[in-house]
């Protein structure tokens, strides 16, 4: 057996205050500098059966939050949908496919609950997250200014979704390319995406590298 062989990770449903506290600690570290989730919010998610984690050597190394119903802190946007409230992976375990495992589990839960779509919110400049979700065939369906609060810079989000109940067969057509100039807040990028979503019901964002900078390749579905 090779010494560098990766362990077999598995996703478990989390419950109990100790597990909730561990999930919060991991989430707080992953989203440092952004609005933090509260223990009450995590408890509400766990009560719905939507808190999942990956444990390695008795330590939580990844967690994900899935909402099946509206709560006091978040109202679901769409019927027959579930909302991915967040995913966090310990920095030492990134790049090992743990986020993919958590997303696969959430998609399974969506199907098991007879729901049609899974959707999430993402900062327009979060190219790493956009790249991940695009690789799993998630499409951008809305631009939401001040989605999580009053700050138009910190609280603006893109909504992405995937039809879990059936495989999409629609082709895509490239319509434009948008350079990412500022990964904290790129006003030009945001305005262009907002304008595109005003014209098209959904778009696909693929992240490319060109001339030592990142470019958002924008496609529309046909």
pLDDT tens readout for residues 154-202: 899 999 999 998 766 678 999 999 999 999 999 999 999 999 999 999 9
- Residue 158 in 3-state DSSP? strand
pLDDT of 170: 72
Instruction: Write out pLDDT tens, residues 202-212.
Output: 999 999 998 88
Q: What separation in angstroms does the CA of 65 have from each of 88, 103, 143, 166, 215?
A: 9, 10, 22, 23, 30
DSSP tag of 143: E
CA 57, chain centre distance (Å): 26
User: How far is 140 from 162, CA to CA, in rounded Å?
Assistant: 9
Full-model pTM = 0.92
Is residue 213 packed enough to be buried (19+ CB in 10 Å), middle (13-18) or exposed (0-12)?
exposed
């Amino acid at each position: 057996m090779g010494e560098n062989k990766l362990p077999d990770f598995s996703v478990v449903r989390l419950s109990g205050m100790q597990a909730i506290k561990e999930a919060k600690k991991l989430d707080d570290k992953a989203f440092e500098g952004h609005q933090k989730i509260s223990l009450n919010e995590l408890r509400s998610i766990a009560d719905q059966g939507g808190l999942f984690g990956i444990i390695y050597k008795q330590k939580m190394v990844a967690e994900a939050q899935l909402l099946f119903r509206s709560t006091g802190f978040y109202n679901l946007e769409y019927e027959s949908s579930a909302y991915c409230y967040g995913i966090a992976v310990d920095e030492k375990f990134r790049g090992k496919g743990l986020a993919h495992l958590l997303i696969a589990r959430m998609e399974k839960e969506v199907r098991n609950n007879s729901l049609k779509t899974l959707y999430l919110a993402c900062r327009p400049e979060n190219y790493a997250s956009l790249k991940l979700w695009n690789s799993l065939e998630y499409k951008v369906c809305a631009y939401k200014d001040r989605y999580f609060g009053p700050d138009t810079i910190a609280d603006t989000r893109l909504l992405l979704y995937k039809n879990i109940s059936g495989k999409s067969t629609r082709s895509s057509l490239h319509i434009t390319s948008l350079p990412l100039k500022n990964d904290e807040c790129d006003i030009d990028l945001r305005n262009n995406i907002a304008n595109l979503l005003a014209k098209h019901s959904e778009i696909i964002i693929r992240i490319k590298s060109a001339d030592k900078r990142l470019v958002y390749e924008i496609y529309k579905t046909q």
